[in-house]
A and B are shown apart, each in its own frame.
Chain A
Amino acid sequence: QQQVKQSPQSLIVQKGGISIINCAYENTAFDYFPWYQQFPGKGPALLIAIRPDVSEKKEGRFTISFNKSAKQFSLHIMDSQPGDSATYFCAAPGGSNYKLTFGKGTLLTVNP
């Protein structure tokens, strides 16, 4: 059974700052590690995903850093904007049958 620990639970950043959310997983896996963004009243939406044979993936202001040996991965949001205020979930492949195990989420608030 995959386990995922996500930190911090909540994060407050000033506009233009860098937001960093960390996740750690227990079991080695060979599928993608995705991050999801969820706005209030909406379902989680795929934000960015990384495959475990690369160390970094960048899409616009969003970057995933992946440390396979430490079993850790993190989301960096550069030049954070108030519109980025949302809950962010990391996820790790959960083993069989294409499952994902999710972190408990990080509530990000970007102040103007």
Chain B
Amino acid sequence: SQQGEEDPQALSIQEGENATMNCSYKTSINNLQWYRQNSGRGLVHLILIRSNEREKHSGRLRVTLDTSKKSSSLLITASRAADTASYFCATDATGNTPLVFGKGTRLSVIA
């Protein structure tokens, strides 16, 4: 069963706009990761945020984590057509448990 649930399921924006995706999860986590998948291909790791962190940045990406609300958000600033992909959040409950993925948000960036 899915641990994380992304919201919205699909998002369409214009190039240059910001894109925000949210992830909610059910149980306590060790860390939360975000991945990107271009159509029908493997997943690419974007960013990892640990349960004791609240915010993390990587280039145009900003991730926040609110463990009290069991939620995370991924912000992509100044989006580009190349950002068009599906974005997944993944969590692990403890250090030795596998990642559990949500169903993802499909982002379309229109040039």
Partners in one complex: no
